[in-house]
Amino acid sequence: MLSTLASGVAFHPGYLGPREAAALLSTLRTAVAAAPLFTPRMPRTGKPFSVRMTNCGPLGWVSDERGYRYQPNHPETGALWPPIPEIALQAWLELAGYPHPPEACLVNYYAPGTRMSLHQDRDEADFAAPVVSLSLGDTAVFRIGGTSRSDPTRSIRLASGDALVLGGSSRLAFHGIDRILAGSSRLLAEGGRFNLTLRRVTRP
């Protein structure tokens, strides 16, 4: 079932079934072994994020005192990022409605108790491409508003296997994660949640 919450927001609950979610997690484990989760830091202040991150694909999103940017290599190991998991590429083909492949797959890991403050995804050169997000593990309380920080917001619970697409007039909507519902999924033995966001970074 697809539901449209606002223009350009498409929510696909249960997009990945439990077996597909488990298969994607298994590929993700391999990727994280090659490109370990790191703790990003805020530009200027250097304040650490509570979420840990890594990336797959030709480009990865990183943040540190020097700012937000995309780069081809891991900030700690220097290695190129591992490939984007096949199941995630398939989700892009089915959901993005955009005729060029994604270049970055940001992987966020939320331990119970962590959150992501309200932000826009705007470090990409081409906002014609949507951002496609996949959730694995514990349910997250996701908040989404409009293109001004002060616009009213609404909450959606993102459960394991759910896909969310931000495109069109919602491509630059403010959004964030208020909290993780600890123990809501048994997919991750360690608990918590992985979120994958697929992005086109450069103009094709």
- Contact residues toward Fe ion (CB under 5 A) are 121
Window of 21-29, 70-78, 158-166, 178-186 that interacts with ligand MD6 by CB under 6 A = 158-166
Q: Is 98 marked as a binding-site residue?
A: no
Q: Which is nearer to Fe ion, 44 or 122 (CB)?
A: 122
DSSP class of residue 79 equals P
Assigned token pair, 161: 């296997």
Q: Is 70 marked as a binding-site residue?
A: yes
Question: Please, what is the Cα angle at 105 between 2 and 19, to 5 degrees?
Answer: 55
Of 31, 95, 104, 177, which lies in the binding site for ligand MD6, with binding defined by CB under 6 A?
177
Q: Is 193 marked as a binding-site residue?
A: yes
Closest CA to 85 of 105, 101, 69: 105
7 alpha-carbon distance from chain centroid: 20
Shortest CB 203 distance to ligand MD6, Å: 19
116 interacts with ligand MD6 by CB under 6 A: yes
Beta strands at 60-64 and 3-6: parallel, antiparallel or unpaired: unpaired
The Cα–Cα gap between 9 and 131 comes to: 10
Of 24, 35, 164, 180, which lies in the binding site for ligand MD6, with binding defined by CB under 6 A?
164
Shortest CB 27 distance to ligand MD6, Å: 18
Residue with tokens 């705007």: 122
H helices of 44-191, where? Answer: 86-95
**What residues from 122 to 141 belong to the interface with ligand MD6 (CB under 6 A)?**
131, 133, 140
Say if residues 180 and 110 touch (Cβ distance below 8 Å): yes
Say if residues 134 and 199 touch (Cβ distance below 8 Å): no
**What residues from 55 to 114 belong to the interface with ligand MD6 (CB under 6 A)?**
108
Of 12, 143, 175, 200, which lies in the binding site for ligand MD6, with binding defined by CB under 6 A?
175
Shortest CB 18 distance to Fe ion, Å: 25
- Binding site for 2-oxoglutarate, residues? 108-110, 193-199
- Binding site, residues? 61, 68-70, 108-110, 119, 121, 123, 149, 175, 193-199
